[in-house]
Every structure is written in structure tokens, then in C-alpha cells.
Copies of this chain bind each other. A is one copy, B any other.
Amino acid sequence: MDDHATARSGYHHGNLKEALLESARKILEESGHSALSLRQCAKAVGVSATAPQNHFGNKSGLLTALATQGYAELVARMRSSLPPDASRAERRSAALQGYVAFALENPALYELMFARDRVLADDPALLEQVGACFAVLADTSQELGLFPSGDPNLEAREQVFVWSLVHGYAQLATAGRFKKEAMKGMDILSIFPEGNQTG
């Protein structure tokens, strides 16, 4: 009958995989990662306790799918609302602000995206999105003017610098490690050192 989305013929859900991801995401941000279980997701969707196994194999599979989704959204956030003729410095500012905004809006998911153990690190779909994410950062990391221009390893150095700075800021901010009174009017752009560009 209805060939898309929330088909429900009683026995078959019709869109269970995405429904499970959605409820998993909700549980994760609302109740923290310790409350996220396959069985709770199943119950929230109204399906048997072991139904998620058919779609994700095991819990790592679900978490991997969540992380993959997270990276895709992060990339979209970094690219959002950018005029096509923006300068590299403008693209960098937009990407950095979008990156941090995503982390602050989805702290539990963001933590999962960088967790060492919970996710299948060599999942192809995940690797693809991770690559896309870091490609955006790499593109915007050039020509910082912070390192000696004769350096043969200049590009790599600039990339590592930008990734480290923005990830560290994002995670420390979401973890609440910075004192609030010192953070007034401070954001990722205000701690980004000016190179020798005009900006």
C-alpha cells in the first residue's frame, strides 16, 4: 500500500531502521549514553526487544550508524549557508563556527563520534563521512600564515593545528571545563590566532 516511511501492516514495521535510529538519538541526548540500550530503543518504537538485531547486528552496529549520521550532519553544518564565492577565510570561519555549534547542540552524539571503543572504526560508511568531515577542515585549513612558509610539511601542520584546536575547544566546551565567567563573549573564532592575512 503506502510504499514509504511509516508503513505499518501490523507485523512488519516498514521503516524500523530509521525509527530505531531516531529513538536512539533521542535517548542519547535526553538521557545520556548510559541509558541507551537496544531494548529501550525497541520499546520506544513499539517493537520486540531483539528486533534491532536484524538491522544493526549488534549494539556497536547501532552506535556506528549513529556516529555516521552525526558526521554527515556535522559536514552539513560546516557547509551551511555559505555563498559559493566565499573566500577561504570566510569558509574557515563558517566551518569552525558550524563545527562548534553542532558539538554544543549534540554533546552526547559528539562524544560518541570520537569514542575509541564503542564504534566499529573501520565501517565503510562511517569512514566515508569521517573523510568528508576532515576534507572540509583540510580545505579551510590552508594559508593560515601561522607557520614558516618554507616548511615542506606546511599543509599537514596547518590541518593538524586546525583540527586539534577546534576539536579540543568543542569537547572542552561541551564538557563544561571552561569557567563560565571567563567565557563571556569568547568563542572558537576569538581564540583563533590571526596570521598575516588581512581578515
Contact = CB atoms under 8 A, between A and B. Distances in A.
Contact of A168 (B146, B165, B175, B186): B165
Nearest to A195: B193
Contact of A163 (B108, B163, B168): B168
Interface in A140-198: 146-147, 153, 156-157, 159-161, 163-169, 171-172, 174-179, 182-186, 190-191, 193
Tell me which of A32, A164, A167, A175 has the highest count of chain B C-beta atoms within 10 A of its own C-beta. Answer: A164
B182 A153 contact: yes
B171 A114 contact: yes
A164 B191 contact: yes
Interface stretch (A14-22, A87-95, A115-123): A115-123
A34 interface: yes
A114 B173 CA distance: 11
A111 interface: yes
Q: How large is the interface on A (under 10, 10 to 19, 20 to 34, 35 or more residues)?
A: 35 or more
A167 B169 CA distance: 8
B153 A164 contact: no
Contact of A193 (B114, B161, B175): B161
Interface in A21-50: 32-34
B182 A160 contact: yes
Contact of A182 (B121, B156, B182): B156
Given A165-B164, A191-B160, A174 B32 contact: no
A165 B163 contact: no
Interface in A95-151: 107-108, 111, 114-118, 121, 130, 134, 146-147
A115 B32 CA distance: 11
Interface of A: 32-34, 107-108, 111, 114-118, 121, 130, 134, 146-147, 153, 156-157, 159-161, 163-169, 171-172, 174-179, 182-186, 190-191, 193
